[in-house]
Chains A and B, each alone.
Chain A
């Protein structure tokens, strides 16, 4: 198979970028999209030219490194996968394919198709954790967690932090990312003591980093490689409202069995 690639090239954060056209020739239908890019790059390197910079690592859809907008869609045309899981048999022979980086104010471009996603880490540092010291944890079976509850928490926790949700959103909102983490920890009993602080801190960090707000268009869910549901955004909103009620001193739902009996 042969393809024409229009790839975004940008030398550094400050320089202007542009699309450059490359041919990809003798591509096997069983090659992955990234292997196809590898072979284009090998050709460039042989000529002494700088290869196209792009991110990848595990190449099995779990590390969240790969981050390409292919023909306008983050992670390409298929649902529920990341770029590294896309294969060339998905494209018709002779197709013209455009390849761009994630585009969002909070994700400045480093080079070509590589962006800086540290903003997501900073949101996590603002509160995406349970403050549990190493050592002294109680037996894992002391906390009984129903199967459904554990499964829902796992649905949320499966986020790979790639940022496709941001890239797909016209407001470049990180709501699905934040919602997944807030929901994962709010659903589990271990996460409850800090839930009020967590949701506020993470949302404030999200605003601070320059991500936009949710427009209820659901593009995020459509491109999420783990198909994380927008229901978690609804849950995030509930958590946020709840935090406001708790903060205002009005009676909210009890935080612990002791509060209930009191």
Chain B
């Protein structure tokens, strides 16, 4: 029977982390070099954790499927990173960042975790500056800030529109140093395909060398997963095409609880989908909503060019519905409003999947030069992709899956329900509740990797009883068998359908029934259809080539096979949560004017799912106690 113990330290919120750190046991310096830690993933969380653990003296074995650790998907984050520095003296504080994050998450995250995140946020900026991250500066040489989605203070640090890239290159450079020092052994182009659990402890992983195809066992004293989110289960998302659920999903099947899988963030401003060959949705920075106005024609199915539609026949729907925040309403609210007007037939562009994001007013008010200076690169990008000039024709945008708040369940120490398996960054569920605020994913990834995990893993390593294990252990052999069995099953499937067609089909299904809004009938339909699709996959998929060589289609087919199982878990979770909160909108639970209704009596809990073979997963609940803040209705009207 799985037990969820969040291990939240008692006492005042402000001192929980300090007291906890002091009560934790340390590993003596001499022992550290005898301890091996596996880190899977080299995004912000993985690279910062691996480098810091190396610096502390552990032997780190670090894995990524990309050809270089520098290419992990954190690199694509555009906007910025939040920190409670209060450099602008505009009323920011740790308490305010904490409160904004809890409220933004619609009161579905843990107070203690979020408070700690806000506390370490300031250190992150200092650490990144020390590593040479070229943050934007004011003329006087001080760090610059901008404001970002849904908050009233200016606390976002940035490097042009490439903040994720610069933060990742900072963490990557720290990793390079530790590789050079021999503390970290880097294994690029190596994919984790299973977890090895021995005597109830995570003791290793099974990996496949993507160049030679060799499958091997890597054992260690502890395993850290920093493998990111699973938005790609929807096929079309803003994620890189390699981002996948396999590592966390395989860990789930070995006994790690999966928490809140249905909490998936939709970003409102992506370029709308075009034809069926489209492989990804490109994000346009949220900052565009600072100056652009969203509208659709008031008349449904109005095919006139936008310039021919007079002002009085336009519906500026965000300004109408949310006069206080207008076009700057938080991501979940803006996305849903876009979907609503499109569903009502007012959408523009191919398939009616799009709304206008219009810059005509700001261009008239401040001139094209100002707009060019602010958003020139985004307008260029839009032009390159669509062939349209957004200075003269309004942009078209549509929401896209972007980030997953759900992930493997972890306690306050970032340890999963399997002792010795730690999960950090987007891969865990911990800090963002039901909705993540802009510029806070970078903050969380680096908080976990630089400042939290290196402490908490030490206590585990200092106190756990860890007997030596090797490749010959029967659990290691069994895990290896599972992996080789799956690979040969994929290669021996004698069908004609490429894996991508299944991926597209399950993604479309989820988008329709478990996307921006969900209802019982649709979710039940999805739960009936997914097993049939999965069965068809194994019967009719084709994977050309060999397993003992570089084979990208084999890698991909394995990930698709996992999506086809994981999709079911997503729907079970969405079905169980009979409320609307944050990014999760159940059509049955809304007010007369379409606002979500949250149910704190029945659903103020983390839903953690336990795997069972050939059966419906078991739901465990971690109640969320709010000792320090009072959950309120999240209104942006």
Residue of A nearest to B174 (CB): A129
**Are A57 and B240 also in contact (CB < 8 A) when A125-B176, A150-B136 are?**
yes
CB<8 Å pairs between A and B, sample of 6 = A12-B550, A30-B386, A36-B277, A50-B545, A57-B71, A57-B242
Pair B550/A60 contact, Cβ less than 8 Å: no
- A118 and B550 CA atoms in complex are apart in Å by 16
Q: How far is the CA of A50 from the CA of B491 in the complex (A)?
A: 12
Stretch among B122-130, B217-225, B596-604, B616-624 lining the A interface: B122-130
B residues near A124, Cβ cutoff 8 Å: 70, 172-173, 176
CB pair B66–A65 under 8 Å, yes or no, is yes
Counting CB contacts under 8 A, is A143 at the interface?
yes
Do B279 and A120 have beta carbons less than 8 Å apart?
no
**Least Cβ–Cβ distance between A33 and chain B, in angstroms:** 11
A window 83-133: CB within 8 A of B:
85, 87, 89, 110-111, 114, 116-118, 120-121, 124-133
- In the bound complex, residues from chain A placing their C-beta under 8 Å from that of B282 are 59-60
State whether B76 touches A58 (Cβ < 8 A): yes
**B132 interface residue (CB < 8 Å to A):** yes
Centre residue among A35, A63, A128, A143 by max chain B CB count within 10 A:
A63
Given contacts A28-B277, A87-B384, A121-B70, contact A185 B132 (CB under 8 A): yes
Chain A residue at minimal CB-CB distance from B454:
A134
Place the interface of chain A in its size category.
35 or more
| Beta-carbon contacts under 8 Å, A133-147 to B | 133-135, 137-141, 143-147
Specify which of B125, B180, B450, B500 is in contact with A140 (CB 8 Å cutoff).
B125
Interchain CB contact under 8 A, A45 and B544: yes
The distance in angstroms between the C-alpha atoms of A29 and B45, with both chains bound, is: 39
Q: How far is the CA of A32 from the CA of B386 in the complex (A)?
A: 10
Interface residues on B, range: 35 or more
CA distance A149 to B279 in the complex (A): 38
From residue 61 to 107 of chain B, which have CB atoms closer than 8 A to chain A? 66-71, 73, 75-76, 85, 87
Closest A-chain residue to B169, C-beta based?
A157
A130–B241 CB distance below 8 A: no
- Which of A51, A81, A127 has the most chain B CB within a 10 Å cutoff? A51
Please state if B76 and A147 are interface contacts (CB–CB under 8 Å): no
Residues of B near any A CB (own CB < 8 A): 48, 51-52, 55, 66-71, 73, 75-76, 85, 87, 123, 125-132, 134-143, 159-160, 162, 164-166, 169, 172-174, 176-177, 179-180, 186, 188, 211, 240-242, 274-275, 277-280, 282-283, 381, 384-387, 450-451, 454, 496-498, 500-501, 542, 544-545, 549-553
Residue on B nearest A67 in the bound complex, by CB? B67
B177 to chain A, nearest CB (A): 4
**A147-B139 contact in complex given A59-B282, A89-B387, C-beta closer than 8 Å:** yes
A150 contacts B135, CB within 8 Å?
yes
Residues of A within 8 A of B (CB): 12, 28-32, 34-36, 38-39, 42, 44-46, 48-51, 53, 55-60, 62-65, 81, 85, 87, 89, 110-111, 114, 116-118, 120-121, 124-135, 137-141, 143-147, 149-150, 153-154, 157-158, 160-161, 184-185, 188, 190-191
A46 in contact with B169 (CB, 8 Å):
no
In the complex, the answer to whether B283 meets A60 with C-beta atoms within 8 Å is yes
Contacts of B501 in A (CB 8 A): 42
> Per a CB cutoff under 8 Å, which of B130, B172, B274 touches A30?
B274
Q: Which residues of A contact B553 (CB under 8 A)?
A: 45, 50-51
Interface centre among B134, B278, B545 (most CB of A within 10 A): B134
Question: Contacts A58-B73, A150-B135 hold; do A51 and B544 have CB atoms under 8 A apart?
Answer: yes
Q: Report yes or no: A140 in contact with B143, Cβ–Cβ below 8 A.
A: yes
Residues of B within 8 A of A143 (CB): 129
Chain A binding surface SS class = loop
User: Known contacts A111-B550, A129-B174, A147-B139; is A134 also within 8 Å of B274 by CB?
Assistant: no
User: B544 CB to closest chain A CB, in angstroms?
Assistant: 5
Complex CA distance for A120 and B142, rounded to whole angstroms: 33
Instruction: Choose one: A46, A51, A150; the contact of B134 (CB below 8 Å).
Output: A150
| Contact flag A134-B51 (CB < 8 Å), given A57-B240, A81-B384 | yes
- B137 contacts A137, C-beta separation under 8 Å: no
Query: Which 3 A-B pairs give the minimum distances between C-beta atoms?
Result: A144-B141, A129-B173, A137-B130
Contacts of B128 in A (CB 8 A): 140
Cβ–Cβ < 8 Å partners of B76 in chain A: 58, 60, 62-63
**Contacts A50-B553, A57-B241, A133-B55 given; 6 further ones with Cβ under 8 A?**
A60-B282, A65-B66, A116-B67, A134-B454, A141-B143, A158-B160
B544 and A35 within 8 A (CB): no
Asked whether B180 lies within 8 Å of A125 as measured between CB atoms, the reply is yes
Residues of chain A lying within 8 A (CB to CB) of residue B496: 46, 48
Asked if residues B180 and A144 are in contact (CB atoms below 8 Å), the reply is no
Query: Given A63-B73, A147-B138, does the pair A132, B131 have CB atoms closer than 8 Å?
Result: yes
Whether the pair A130, B130 counts as a contact (CB closer than 8 A) is yes
> Contacts of A116 on B, CB cut-off 8 Å?
67, 211
Tell me the bound Cα distance from A116 to B209 in angstroms: 14
B497: chain A residues at CB < 8 Å are 46
CB of B65 to closest CB in A, whole Å? 9
Are B67 and A191 interface neighbours, CB within 8 A? no
Partner of B162, one of A59, A89, A158: A158
In the bound complex, how far is the Cα of B542 from the Cα of A46, in angstroms? Answer: 7
Contact A134 B545 (CB under 8 A): no
